Amino acid sequence: MFKLRKFLKDYILQLIIGPLCKLTEAILELMIPLITADIIDTGVKNGDIRYVLSRGGLMVLMGALGLGFALVCQKFASIASQGFGTKLRNGMFRHINSLSHAELDKIGTPSLITRITNDVNQMQLAVAMLIRLVIRAPFLVIGALVMAMMIDLKLSLIFFAASALIAVVLYIVMNKSVPYFKAMQKKLDRASLVSRENLSGNRVVRAFDKQEYEEDRFNKSNAELADISVRAGKISALLNPLTYIIAQGAIILIVWFGSVSVNIGELQTGQIIALVNYMTQILLAMIVLSNLVVIFTKAAASASRINEVLDTKPTVTEKTTTDIDIDTNSPAVEFKNVSFGYLENGYALKNISFSIKKGMSVGIIGGTGSGKSTLVNLIPRFYDANEGDVYVFGNNVKEYPFGQLRGSMGIVPQKAELFSGTIKENMLWANKNVTDDEIERALKISQAYEFVSKFPEKTEKQISAGGSNLSGGQRQRLTIARALVGNPEILILDDSSSALDFATDAALRRELGNLEGNMTIFTVSQRVSSVRYCDIILVLDNGILAGKGSHEELVRDCEVYREICMSQLEKEEVGI
């Protein structure tokens, strides 16, 4: 938890004044039993109404002051805790965006969402309680013990014994419940994962009529979370009855032995009342301490999960933020003996080498899992090669700042991802200064203008999150247009026309063909028709470059490519 204190550095004033206000309130609260005793032993005993009223007025004044100090503390606690939570979320979000794909794959999206929401909320609560109660509760316990000793040293031994017993109960209960609180966060991750999968894949669930199966899966995950919560709750529920039994037993002993002292004249009735009040204060403070232990235990578990994210270092980092010189006469993209593997799953690419000149069109084809998407993900440096080097315009991709490298590329991912907002706002991602004419040109090239022009709002048409109010083909065409708007030097189309019909796909390829010469285009596809007219075709088979060349050369010399062609085209179309 202490690692996160840097997010509190702007709230030092609140962290100092807030607890001091609570400390002042606690001092006033400790004075109340003494005034009560004085009212009973002096005012009531002597029948002095004026004395009772004056002391009563003093109690009201002290109560009002205590309320004022409590409200000031509450405000400062709110400012500090909410500010801390905001800065922590911002810091986590910023750090998550700096992580490479490998780290994001390892932690997982559902877990990251839980950590940036639920876990940060736990930390906010801990900060608020730190300011409001961490000093007040222990001070009340210690102060009540001191006051009891001042009234009667012998009877104060009951206080010490009761406090020790309550502390033992707190320790045992917390020691048993801490593992459950840690496990709860992991179960919450699992429930978030199931929920996210179900909601994002809702159409698939309905298509396969798997609603009941998904409900059972969610119920099981939810039941596991509930079971852990109930177990922790059962143990924590022992706190109140056990502490009350100890405290009430102590009060009985105080009254019993105190009455003897009153009878022999060692103590007065008001002092016994004060001792009972102090015992009650200790009880309430101990209960607060037990709740604080629960809160800080949860916070410690959350802090550990947050620190796990913040301590994760990106494996892909930039050496400089200053643009470097490029050689436009060098190959646009060059792979030299590149091998790459995901975590411990073995190599997805093995010893890949090829060179692509500027302005060429490149087709990448192969079976499912052959490494097509992995290969193009190495060009913008989403991952770093385990072996070998990737070059863009004569420079190793590791030498580029991210902005320059990725700014020179238009990337259309396998999954068409749009963001909530207007079509125009989505088009401005590559370059916020593009004109309407440039957007229209990109829409026409991507074959998206046909349906966008039919919307009454045109490019001001609102898109739902993920583009859920558009068809798959429409989403793909808009993501292609978004990549083209920036007029990139290298365009990467990762199976981005899979939802398009053959006529639209052919029209798109025809328009992209007109861009060749100025733009280097990589087209990843499982369709032979999408890559057959590319200048060079790379054929991947289980991570190995099985062939490279034109369609005619590969049909003649590459068995893997020939088999793919024969599975999709007639003999005459293949050219055999």
Of the chain, the percentage scoring pLDDT greater than 70 comes to 97
Helix ranges restricted to H, 4-44: 12-38
Tens of pLDDT, residues 403-447:
888 888 888 888 878 888 888 888 888 778 888 888 888 888 888
Angle between helices 239-263 and 211-237 (to 10 degrees): 20
Of the chain, the percentage scoring pLDDT greater than 90 comes to 11
Predicted TM-score (pTM) of this structure: 0.73
Tens of pLDDT, residues 164-185:
888 888 788 777 777 777 777 6
Quickly list DSSP for 131-156. HHTTTHHHHHHHHHHHHHHHH-HHHH
Q: For residues 534 and 493, is the Cβ–Cβ distance under 8 A?
A: no
User: Which tokens in the block code for residue 508?
Assistant: 């798109």
Given a cut of 90, is residue 72 above it in pLDDT? yes
459: number of CA atoms within 13 Å, CB side? 20
For 111-137, what is the mean pLDDT?
87
Tell me what pLDDT residue 165 has.
87
Q: Where are the domains of the chain?
A: 2-310
Q: What is the mean pLDDT of the chain?
A: 84
The residue with tokens 């005459």 is: 572
CATH superfamily placement of domain 2-310:
ABC transporter type 1, transmembrane domain (1.20.1560.10)
Given a cut of 90, is residue 452 above it in pLDDT? no
Angle between helices 436-445 and 502-513 (to 10 degrees): 130
Given a cut of 80, is residue 294 above it in pLDDT? no
Tell me what pLDDT residue 172 has.
82
Tens of pLDDT, residues 178-224:
777 777 767 777 777 777 777 767 767 777 777 787 788 888 888 88
The residue with tokens 């702007």 is: 10
